[in-house]
Amino acid sequence: MDASGGPSARMPLAPVGEELSPAERTRFARHVILPGVGDRGQRRLRSARVLVVGAGGLGSPVLLYLAAAGVGRLTVVDDDVVEATNLQRQVLHGIADVGRAKVDSAVQALALLAPEVEVRPVSQRLVADNVLDLVADHDVVVDGADNFPTRYLVGDACARLGVPHVWGSVYQHDAQVSVWWSGVGPCYRCVFPSPPPPGAVPSCSTGGVLGASVGTIGSVMAEEVVKLLIGGGEPLVGRLLVHDAWRQEWSTLPVAANPDCVVCGAGADPRRPLGIGATESSQDGAEEASGDGAGTARPSLPSISVVDLATRLAARESGSDEFVLVDVREPGERDVVVIPGALAVPLGEVRARGGEALAEVAHGIPVLVHCKSGARSAEAVERLRAEGVDAVDVTGGVLAWVRDVDPTQPTY
Ligand SMILES: [Zn+2]
Q: Residue 407 is inside which H or E element, if any?
A: none
How far, in Å, CA of 317 to CA of 143, rounded?
49
Centre of ligand 1 from the C-alpha of residue 237, in Å: 13
Q: How confident is the model at residue 7 (pLDDT cuts 50, 70, 90)?
A: low
Active site residue 371: yes
Instruction: Considering the candidates 187, 190, 204, 261, report the single residue annotated as catalytic.
Output: 204
Q: How confident is the model at residue 359 (pLDDT cuts 50, 70, 90)?
A: confident
How far, in Å, CA of 222 to CA of 48, rounded?
13
Q: What is the mean pLDDT of the chain?
A: 89
Centre of ligand 1 from the C-alpha of residue 399, in Å: 38
Residues 6+ apart with CB under 8 A from 80: 55, 56, 101, 102
Over residues 305-325, mean pLDDT:
94
Residue 198 confidence (pLDDT): 61
Centre of ligand 1 from the C-alpha of residue 42, in Å: 32
69 dihedral zone (left: phi>0; alpha: psi -120 to 50; beta) = alpha
**Percent share of the chain, pLDDT over 70:** 90
Centre of ligand 1 from the C-alpha of residue 263, in Å: 5
Provide DSSP, 56-107. STTHHHHHHHHHHTT-SEEEEE---B--GGGTTT-TT--GGGTTSBHHHHHH
How far, in Å, CA of 286 to CA of 374, rounded?
9
Half-sphere exposure of 37 (CA within 13 A, CB side): 18
Decide if pLDDT at 250 tops 70: yes
Residue 114 confidence (pLDDT): 97
Centre of ligand 1 from the C-alpha of residue 240, in Å: 15
How far, in Å, CA of 42 to CA of 75, rounded?
19
How far, in Å, CA of 382 to CA of 357, rounded?
14
More confident residue, 228 or 411: 228
Q: Residue 41 is inside which H or E element, if any?
A: helix 38-47
Residue 278 confidence (pLDDT): 43
Q: What are the phi and psi torsion angles at 329 (to 5°)?
A: -80, 175
Decide if pLDDT at 22 tops 70: yes
C-alpha dihedral sign at 153, 155, 158, 163: positive
Over residues 59-86, mean pLDDT:
97
How far, in Å, CA of 300 to CA of 282, rounded?
20
Over residues 280-294, mean pLDDT:
37
Exposed e or buried b for every residue in 186-210, given b needs 16+ CB within 10 A? bbbbbbbeebeebbebbbbbbebbb
More confident residue, 25 or 4: 25
Active site residue 264: no
CA dihedral of residues 276, 102, 86, 208 (deg, nearest 10) = 10
Decide if pLDDT at 178 tops 60: yes
Residue 361 confidence (pLDDT): 77
List of domains in the chain: 22-288 (3.40.50.720), 303-404 (3.40.250.10)
Centre of ligand 1 from the C-alpha of residue 164, in Å: 12
Over residues 123-133, mean pLDDT:
92
More confident residue, 363 or 300: 363
For the ranges 116-125, 200-209, 232-241, 270-279, the lowest mean pLDDT is seen at: 200-209
Decide if pLDDT at 196 tops 60: yes
Exposed e or buried b for every residue in 226-263, given b needs 16+ CB within 10 A? bbbbbbbeebbbbbbbebebeeeeeeeeebebbeebbb
More confident residue, 296 or 387: 387
